Structure 1
Amino acid sequence: MDEQAESARDDEVRTRTSRTTRNANGERGVDASSAVSASVASSSASLAAAPDAFAKSDASAQIARAQQAVPNPNGAGAVLGLIRSGSAVTRTQIMQVTGLSRSTVALRLDALLAAGYIAPAAAESSTGGRPPGSFQINPYAGVMLLAAIGAANMHLAVADMHGTVLVREHDAIDVALGPERVLGRVASLFETLLKKAGQSAARVKGIGIGVPGPVEFAEGRVVRPPIMTGWDGYRVADFFASRCYTCPVLVDKDVNLMALGEHRAGWSDTSHMLFVKVSTGIGAGMIMNHALQRGAHGGAGDLGHLYVGHLVPGEPKLCRCGNYGCLEAYAAGWAICRHLNESGHAAQTARDAADLAQRGVREAVEQMQNAGRLLGETIAMAVSLLNPSLVVLGGELGTRQSDMLAAVRETVYRRSLPLATRHVQIVNSVLGADAGLLGAAHLVSDALFAPSVVDAAIGQPA
């Protein structure tokens, strides 16, 4: 992709992403990274039949079990899927796509309307808008709480059922403080954000959280995280259940949510994508055949702890995971900051290091280039193994550093075989810090709106 085409694609994605930052009256915010404070309009259709149908001792586990059920291909859940994807949004279109009779389609739509899943779409102009008589996901049926927790900071938001961010917050946090303190801060900020949005805990239909470590997804349990002291075996959903949230709580590795958000927002037509987060730490999220891949136990994509010590002169460096020679020990934000501090340049965070490089500080620029080459070596292995058509660099360093991107591109194209790199694109993330939040919104809505879950919630047989 040449620079002009790539710039056009970035503009398109930014425009599309900006639509996810509107207030409850549909007014667009300044941009995708602006905080938008608004109240969600009340609605008689409260989605009461959806997550509330699972509001028992373990809503998350019940949602997971319902997702595993075989959905009725002609059920209300399948019809909702067509509306949600935009494949068929009117009665006539649904009849044409499904082959169902007019009376059956009417029954399905009536059930979805009564449960609060859908609402008539607002009339739009005939040029590019929805056709008359269209339906959409009911944005006012409830809200979602979202948190993207990193090693040193976190982003939080309240979103409507469309995934539109209503209010948001950013806070510095050390994830090594342990789950009770970190999640306690998350819970406190959630309460503040709900008040700003004019919402209550009873209106929360799902919570989506990303953490910087492996997660056993079905259980929402953190598993042997290298940098999250005290988190091993911790089940995040239990923390929020103890605070009167009866909705499902979905937890995943932060980079998985970033990959999901980036893919849905800007690259949904790409079937195989590798998202690499380069920030305080390094990790990868994989989209294969349009589906997020977590591995057998949630450990897929642990790129930062591949061994690269043989590529660097001298003794392998100690990584914070306890091993020697890991990629993170040379290319992660914490390692770059360590080197810069030793060289007399104050850098406490990955953002500090990126700022120094952007100001042209020689040591910082050299560190970014060296990190890019080592990162390129590991990405080249991943490209040869997985054969993605797209590699996206995200995170504080991956998004902002042109020196790092150039070094990664040069190394990957040089080290991987032509068959693997013939059509691969390597680009910066367009969503930036929003990728994790948007991914969390998709994670929750995918669970709540899964056809089998919807059928179970409204009492339709599979």
Structure 2
Amino acid sequence: MPSEGTAQGIGAGAMLAILRDGQARTRAELAQLTGLARSTVSQRLDALMDHRWVVATEDSISSGGRPAAAFAFNESVRVVLAADLGASHARLAVIDLGMTVLAERAAELPIDGGPEATLTWLVTAFQEMLAETGRDLTQVCGVGVGLPGPVEHASGRPVNPPIMPGWDAFPVPEWLGERLGAPVLVDNDVNIMALGEHWTARPEVDHLIFIKIGTGIGCGIVSDRRLHRGAQGAAGDVGHIRVTSSDVVCRCGNVGCLEAVAGGAAMAAALRAEGVDVQGSRDVVALMRAGSATAAQLIRQAGREVGGVMASIVNFFNPSVIVIGGDIAEAGEHVLAGIREVIYSRSLPLATQHLSIRASELGDRAGVIGAAVMVVEHVLAPGTIDQTMAG
């Protein structure tokens, strides 16, 4: 139980954080957990109920005497709009505060169409999805967006994104916020995938690396169960680590980058050079599944190239789990085998003693789940709840 002085600092937001574990609790239980007086607990609960963050449950809890009323977090009181925008496709979802997906949509959407065209489509799609769920914009508490390029997380603005012409420094949060009437958080697409995978499939893991191998290659880092973005939000940009002395030019302008030799776009280009009609990373995987030995060899070698970079990261960061996601992860063991082969041969035995290297469990949904997690953790932070209720 907190000390009396500490207990006085426990506001309604902190009490809501206790109830977010899904367990209904009585006033007496909350008083015991927080160290607050029963009267103060009742005041906090009344305030939370006025804003519908908390509801009285239908079931009462009995300890032998008169059953006491119990209270629980109201997961359906608000919804989050989540978008994972890739180089050529988009996935959207409407998700409640308990992380239940209420509506979902996927579409082909080239990011190089520019910010206003892309975001206008996004707003329209969100409005249609809200209507499908019987909700409206007044019930949206936040919007989360993942973009396939570097993002300055503090401002939510893309910074010199190599495959997003016209997006540099575009005020995505402000533009969307004006039209959707809710706070907007923006991050790199790999970061939100790492958040989604950790939240849903690996919540007990302290140190996790998420590698996305799609058109490009990126990395999300979870350290001490928190997303590590670095000073400006550029942490994890492993796709532009130099891995070859050849003069292959990367879309970033440098030569020899990992992405330029092992990304889905690079593999598709190699196949086209041999006269095979493929456009992107998904086509490469489909060709492999159709029995193409060349596509299978390219994917296995891409896994080895990624594994070489990851071996250095394993020695440096010592994660307990590496999760492989993105379109090329759909190749399964073909890419995983190449990655494991090099990591286990080049990393220190202590660093790989308990290391698990797995494919993403969420697949294409990792990004939208992570975008929602990013928003929910911000909106339901104790300080944010206290400010919202005070306002």
Query: Do these two structures clear the TM 0.5 threshold for a shared fold by scoring above it?
Result: yes
Shift of 1:393: 0.3
- Determine whether 1:215 maps to 2:135: no
Partner residue of 1:436? 367
Contact kept, 8 Å, 1:278 with 1:397, in 2: the verdict is yes
Structure-2-length-normalised TM-score: 0.92
Shift of 1:135: 3.3
Shift of 1:97: 2.3
Partner residue of 1:246? 181
Partner residue of 2:317? 386
Partner residue of 1:43? none
Distance 1:89 1:354, change over 3 A: farther
Distance 1:209 1:89, change over 3 A: farther
Greater CA deviation, 163-172 or 135-144?
A: 135-144
**Gapped regions of structure 1 (runs ≥ 5):** 1-70
User: Which secondary structure does the structure 2 equivalent of 1:309 belong to?
Assistant: coil
Task: Indicate the structure whose relative CO is greater, using CA pairs within 8 Å and at least 6 residues apart.
Answer: 1
Percent identity, aligned pairs only?
A: 42
- Determine whether 1:455 maps to 2:391: no
Equivalent-residue separation in structure 1 for 2:314 and 2:61 (angstroms): 44
Equivalent-residue separation in structure 1 for 2:134 and 2:181 (angstroms): 19
Report matched runs for 1:150-161 at 5 Å. 150-161=86-97
Distance 1:419 1:138, change over 3 A: same
User: Which secondary structure does the structure 2 equivalent of 1:85 belong to?
Assistant: coil
Equivalent-residue separation in structure 2 for 1:412 and 1:132 (angstroms): 56
Contact kept, 8 Å, 1:123 with 1:132, in 2: the verdict is no
Greater CA deviation, 426-435 or 229-238?
A: 229-238
Out of 104, 129, 136, the residue aligned to residue 200 of structure 1 is: 136
Per-residue CA deviation, residues 22-62 of structure 1 (Å, 9 max, x unaligned), is: xxxxxxxxxxxxxxxxxxxxxxxxxxxxxxxxxxxxxxxxx
- Determine whether 1:77 maps to 2:8: no
Shift of 1:413: 0.6
Counterpart residue type for residue 335 of structure 1: A
- Determine whether 1:350 maps to 2:281: yes
- Determine whether 1:330 maps to 2:261: yes
- Determine whether 1:281 maps to 2:216: yes
Shift of 1:296: 0.7
Shift of 1:88: 7.3
Equivalent-residue separation in structure 2 for 1:110 and 1:458 (angstroms): 12
Partner residue of 1:364? 295
Distance 1:439 1:459, change over 3 A: same
Greater CA deviation, 393-402 or 174-183?
A: 393-402
User: Which secondary structure does the structure 1 equivalent of 2:185 belong to?
Assistant: strand
Counterpart residue type for residue 44 of structure 2: R
Partner residue of 1:174? 110
Greater CA deviation, 101-110 or 172-181?
A: 101-110
Q: Which runs of 4+ in 1 moved over 6 A?
A: none
User: Which secondary structure does the structure 2 equivalent of 1:210 belong to?
Assistant: strand
Contact kept, 8 Å, 1:137 with 1:161, in 2: the verdict is no
User: Which secondary structure does the structure 1 equivalent of 2:104 belong to?
Assistant: strand
**Gapped regions of structure 2 (runs ≥ 5):** 1-6
Distance 1:257 1:89, change over 3 A: farther
Out of 319, 322, 336, the residue aligned to residue 250 of structure 2 is: 319
